Amino acid sequence: MKESKKMVLVGPAGVGKTSICKSFFEMGNPKTLLDDSLEPTRGINSSLYSLFNSHFGVFDLAGQENDLWLSTNQDVFNNSNLIICIFDVMNSLESIISFLIKILQIKKRLHLSECKIISFIHKIDLVEPSYVFHKIKAIDDFFKSQYHRGQEIDIYKTSIAEEFFFSTCSILGEILNLLFNQEERAQIGEKELANIKNEIKMLLKMEKEVYYDKEILSHKFDFKIDDVNSHIDRLLQINFVQSNETLNSFKLTERSYYFKIGLEKELSNAINDDLERNIESFHIFLSLNKIIV
Q: Which domains does the chain have, with CATH numbers?
A: 2-178 (3.40.50.300), 190-287 (1.10.10.10)
pLDDT value, residue 150: 55
Give dist(CA 107, CA 102) in Å, integer. Answer: 9
Element holding 7 (H helix, E strand): strand 2-10
* pLDDT surpassing 80 at residue 181: no
How confident is residue 96, by pLDDT bands cut at 50, 70 and 90?
very high
How confident is residue 282, by pLDDT bands cut at 50, 70 and 90?
confident
Give dist(CA 231, CA 216) in Å, integer. Answer: 14
pLDDT value, residue 279: 81
3-state secondary structure of 46: strand
One-character DSSP codes across 77-95: GTT-SEEEEEEETTS-HHH
Q: HSE-up of 224 (CA within 13 Å, CB side)?
A: 4
Which class for 218: exposed (0-12), middle (13-18), buried (19 or more C-beta within 10 A)? middle
| CA neighbor of 91 nearest in space, from 118, 59, 144, 127 | 127
pLDDT value, residue 211: 93
What global pTM score does this model have? 0.91
pLDDT value, residue 148: 65
The arrangement of strands across the sheet holding 54-61 comes to: 153-157, 116-122, 82-88, 2-10, 54-61, 44-51, 289-291
- Percentage of the chain lying above the pLDDT 70 cut: 92
- Quick one: average pLDDT of 119-124? 97
DSSP state of 16: S
Give dist(CA 157, CA 143) in Å, integer. Answer: 17
Give dist(CA 93, CA 163) in Å, integer. Answer: 25
pLDDT value, residue 271: 57
Question: How far from chain centre, in Å, is Cα 281?
Answer: 9
- Please give the angle made by the CA atoms of 66, 71 and 73, to the nearest 5 degrees: 85
- Quick one: average pLDDT of 205-215? 92
One-character DSSP codes across 56-72: EEEEEE-GGGHHIIIII
Contacts 24+ apart (CB under 8 A), 238-244: 238/27, 238/285, 238/286, 239/27, 239/28, 239/29, 240/203, 244/211
| CA neighbor of 277 nearest in space, from 258, 263, 261 | 263
pLDDT value, residue 180: 78
Q: Convert the pLDDT of each residue in 63-92 to its tens digit.
A: 999 999 999 888 999 999 999 999 999 999
Instruction: Please check whether residue 16 is in contact with residue 165, taking contact to mean a CB–CB distance below 8 angstroms.
Output: no
